[in-house]
Chains A and B, each alone.
Chain A
Amino acid sequence: MYLLSFLIIFPLCVSLLLLLLKGQKLRNGLVKISALAISAAAISLLISTFHRSIQYFHAESHLIDKIMFFTEMALAVYILYLGIKFKRSWVVFLILLQTALMVYFENSYGGKIFVENNLFIDKFSILMSLVVGIIGSLICVYAIGYMRDFHKDYHKEIKDRTNFFFFIVFVFLSAMFGVIFSNNLLWLYFFWEITTLCSFLLIGYKKTEESRKNAFMALELNLLGGLAFLAAIVFFYRMTGSIELSKVMLLGKAWALVPAMLICFAGLTKSAQMPFSSWLLGAMVAPTPVSALLHSSTMVKAGVYIILRFAAVLQGTMAGFALALIGGVTFLTASFAAVSQSDAKKVLAYSTIANLGLIVLCAGIGTYEAMWAAILLIIFHAVAKCLLFLCVGTVEHKIHSRNIEHMSGLIISLPKISIMMQIGMAGMFLAPFGMLISKWAVLKALVDYNPLLAIFVVFGSSVTLFFWVKWMGKLIIVTEHKDEIEERISKSQWFPLTALSVLTIVICGFFPLVSSTLIEPYCLEIYARTISMSHGNIVIMSIMLAMVMLFPLSFINYGKRVKVVDAYLGGANIHNNIQFRGSANAVKSMAMHNYYLEGYFNEVKLLKFGIVISSVLVFAMLGLSLL
């Protein structure tokens, strides 16, 4: 209980303190210490509660309810003001509608609502709190160095609002913990809306025309989701007289389906599933730590978290099947779209959307196997994706580009970073690393439920392989001499990068332990049965992991017993590996560009296709739940 409230309240206090502090040193120190405290609290939460079953806490709520209500109203006014100021009619419309619904609900039922338990904790929330706590803290530490470089060297034109930046980030973390631990749906909704607002402010950090536009796009889509969320709460209350997550889950399919689908709709907007995916792509304009935060540990994970909470209700329903199809279509189209992208951040963004699609696909199926696979996906994806974003952020500062074509030879110019990037990529798609373990689990879950759904994974994952490997290959190509430019990267960037690289590998070795102490008991609690990887397969995976880990050892032989020659260029080479004398004595240069196959994997067409299909499916999902 104390740890739990600490995790929610502490980041909030820190954020307020950050707003007051002026000195840079003081601020950085505070950020570091609080990051440490938050991850320590998350870990001790794990240690103290992993062996217990679900715990509920009452948490005296009258005053808190009031504070939340007034904060919500104040925020609504603020959003309304922004909407009017920047002439965003959708924002105005949505926030008015939402506030009206809120006021109506509060007026007609406010006094009567009785909530037994406001907070709770179970195995799933422990896992989520580890993801948010540890990865979120690492991002905070990274942001210290990054934001300094960002303002001092790279974006002098942008006003330094680093204090404000950290303020929002810590509020964000606090709200994420709130989302994870709330049993009272109104509280959950409150924190949910805070994450929406935080992401809006962070995306708009640069205050340029583009960032403002994208920030509002994110706000609009997430407000739409928020509206659905609130509607679901009203629904729940009118049907059952309760707004507790634990109680509405007991309703069973017949009753809970409509509001559950509304909440899933909110989850879809937050986790940037098609047709709502555009906001996450737009969020790239923000400084890189923000992208890392949105993509890995917070925001989008809140979306899939809430969907997974309702997965058991969806099992075997037509509406759930429609949700699964939305996830499948998203996975497929986003993976395909990533093939034709050369912007590193965009590739990462599409890959996030795709992997979340896979999680939603699992949630829609809702079986115990799918649940197991989905939770694994959340963990592995968070770590590897965060590492990749942070690496790209540093690379962008160093080579002034985030185009993958410009990353050729990175193994020479930024050796450590490029190795970390390769670890991250391996974590995203390669056996025996995390995401592949999850893919194995997803395939098994799908085939047991409905083998036809496997088609999404079958095609999607083969495309995934293509775009990751060609990027990986680009990093290790060396055609000419390059200087190493790594030394000026600050310690506050090195630490999280190293930690995440180690984590990507370690988590893969320890995954059987994570599975048996947290994920399997959780599945048991909900479904009374569970699944795990067989012992034999774990051994095989471990052997593979050990083999891949041995690869760096081969560099002991570096340069021994080999004769270095120039590459064959189809003519007579001139002094180096990149120019040659071709026919008619003409000097020619060689160039190497990756395949982007735009004729076949055209982003615009794919998105159009995905949006049309998924929109139909969203309507189908909501419609089917009414039947």
Chain B
Amino acid sequence: MNLILNILLYLILAPLCGGILSGLDRKITARMQSRIGPPVFQPFFDVLKLLQKENLVVRRSQNFYIGFFLVLVVFTGALFFTGKDILLVIFALTLAAIFFVLAGFKASSPYSFIGAQRELLQMMAYEPIIILSAVGMYMVTHSFTVADIISFDRPLVYYLPGILFGLLYILAMKFRKSPFDLSTSHHVHQELVKGITTEFSGKALAMIEVAHWFENMLVLGFIYIFFASFPVFGVVLSLAAYFLVILIDNTFARVKWQLALLSCWMVALIFGFGNILILFILPKST
């Protein structure tokens, strides 16, 4: 019963929080650019509006992939927030992301194609540090299970600062924000038009938006794990990380894929792997 209750709670809270965060993002971004910005609930209005629009497609099956993207993202989040195996969470998230990429391919338009290629490239760029973080957590807590990891009695950041840094570095990629908004941009006037989402409209676009809310909550949950033994502190710091991403989004221009790939891998190698190396060499203090 508890499990079902948890899942229900998650299904209601995650999109709600995700939507509000997205609204806050737009508000804060507007203030940074000396605009007033839309109301905090604007993302919800947008989605509701999108749901009423006509479904325009280039290929008739393109939206099926988006549907599965949404379902799998929700599933992944459920795995995470009910405390299941973190490796499976990562793999399930990858599966979801692949459906998103395939949707971009399926749309068969050059802009969505480039977006899909770049999204794929970004996945290749951020995957190492994400798996390394699972490895690091296992080394500290001797478990891959999220439930065990968060009940560890000391904050993981104490052991895994390098890995946390690596995760923060790729955060912009997961939020699809500048300087790593290579696959789809929030602003529709650039070389890649709207990238991977170019050919999606109406319901499909709404689904993508909602999926991103879920995804964002999941990513913030990942950050939270590092401070899980101080819950309040953890929530505050995850939100601070979100603010950091917004700040960076507004201060940096988009980088080329070469730099995105290389820098992510370098960070994963130096900070992520370096962290694991030190953890392995140092005598176990606990």
Contacts and interface: CB of A to CB of B under 8 A. Distances in A.
B95 A431 contact: yes
Given A565-B58, A570-B193, A458 B139 contact: no
A592 interface: yes
Contact of A568 (B85, B111, B116, B128): B111
B220 interface: no
B60 interface: yes
Given A455-B273, A562-B60, A594 B131 contact: no
Interface in A493-527: none
A567 B106 CA distance: 11
A242 to B, nearest CB: 40
Bin the interface of chain A by size: 35 or more
Contacts of A600: 258, 261-262
Given A447-B138, A466-B120, A567 B108 contact: yes
Contacts of B101: 469, 473
Contact of B193 (A444, A543, A568): A568
Contacts of B112: 567
Contact of B92 (A544, A568, A599): A544
A554 B117 contact: no
Interface in B101-157: 101-102, 104-113, 116-117, 120-121, 123-125, 127-128, 131-132, 134-135, 138-139, 144
A476 B110 contact: no
A242 B88 CA distance: 47
Residue from A458, A463, A534 whose CB has the most chain B CB atoms within 10 Å = A458
Interface stretch (B9-17, B21-29, B39-47, B67-75): B67-75
Nearest to B104: A473
Contact of B108 (A430, A431, A477, A563): A477
A540 B135 contact: no
Nearest to B99: A551
A476 B113 CA distance: 11
A473 B116 contact: yes
B94 interface: yes
B88 A540 contact: yes
B144 A465 contact: no
A594 B117 contact: yes
Contact of A459 (B106, B199, B265): B265
B165 to A, nearest CB: 16
A554 B87 contact: no
Contacts of B262: 600
A540 B273 contact: no
Nearest to B136: A451
A536 B3 CA distance: 13
B84 interface: yes
A431 B57 contact: no
Contact of B135 (A440, A451, A474, A591): A451
A479 B60 CA distance: 12
Interface string B33-60: 0000000000000000000001111111
Given A474-B105, A537-B85, A430 B98 contact: yes
Given A476-B105, A544-B95, A577 B88 contact: no
Contacts of B199: 567-568
| Interface residues of B, dominant DSSP | helix
A131 to B, nearest CB: 25
Nearest to B204: A562
A558 to B, nearest CB: 6
Contacts of A436: 91
A447 B139 contact: yes
B57 A565 contact: yes
Nearest to A539: B84
Interface string A346-376: 0000000000000000000000000000000
B142 to A, nearest CB: 9
Interface in A575-623: 577, 590-592, 594-595, 597, 599-600
B85 A567 contact: no
A478 B198 contact: no
Nearest to A450: B280
A478 B79 CA distance: 35
Interface in A526-574: 534, 536-537, 540-541, 543-544, 547-548, 551, 554-555, 557-559, 561-570
B79 A540 contact: yes
Contacts of B84: 536-537, 540
B132 A454 contact: yes
B121 A595 contact: yes
A544 B90 CA distance: 13
A595 B117 contact: yes
Contacts of B57: 562-565
A49 to B, nearest CB: 34
A565 B109 CA distance: 11
Contacts of B138: 447, 451
Nearest to A437: B91
Interface in A408-466: 430-432, 436, 440, 443-444, 447, 450-452, 454-455, 457-459, 461-463, 465-466
A567 B286 CA distance: 59
Contact of A554 (B64, B85, B94, B105): B64
Contact of B105 (A431, A473, A564): A473
Contact of B124 (A450, A465, A472, A558): A465
B255 interface: no
A88 interface: no
B55 A563 contact: yes
B105 A551 contact: no
A551 B87 contact: no
* Nearest 9 A/B pairs, CB to CB: A473-B105, A567-B109, A462-B127, A431-B91, A554-B64, A466-B124, A562-B55, A559-B60, A567-B58
30 contacts: A440-B88, A447-B138, A447-B139, A454-B135, A455-B273, A466-B124, A469-B98, A473-B102, A473-B104, A473-B116, A476-B102, A477-B106, A477-B113, A536-B84, A537-B88, A540-B79, A541-B88, A554-B67, A563-B55, A566-B58, A567-B58, A567-B107, A567-B108, A568-B111, A577-B108, A577-B109, A595-B120, A595-B121, A600-B261, A600-B262
Interface of B: 54-61, 63-64, 67-68, 71-72, 75, 79, 84-85, 87-88, 91-92, 94-95, 98, 101-102, 104-113, 116-117, 120-121, 123-125, 127-128, 131-132, 134-135, 138-139, 144, 193, 198-199, 258, 261-262, 265, 268, 273, 276-277, 279-280
Interface of A: 430-432, 436, 440, 443-444, 447, 450-452, 454-455, 457-459, 461-463, 465-466, 469-470, 472-474, 476-479, 534, 536-537, 540-541, 543-544, 547-548, 551, 554-555, 557-559, 561-570, 577, 590-592, 594-595, 597, 599-600
Given A478-B59, A568-B193, 6 more contacts: A458-B135, A462-B124, A537-B88, A554-B68, A563-B54, A565-B56
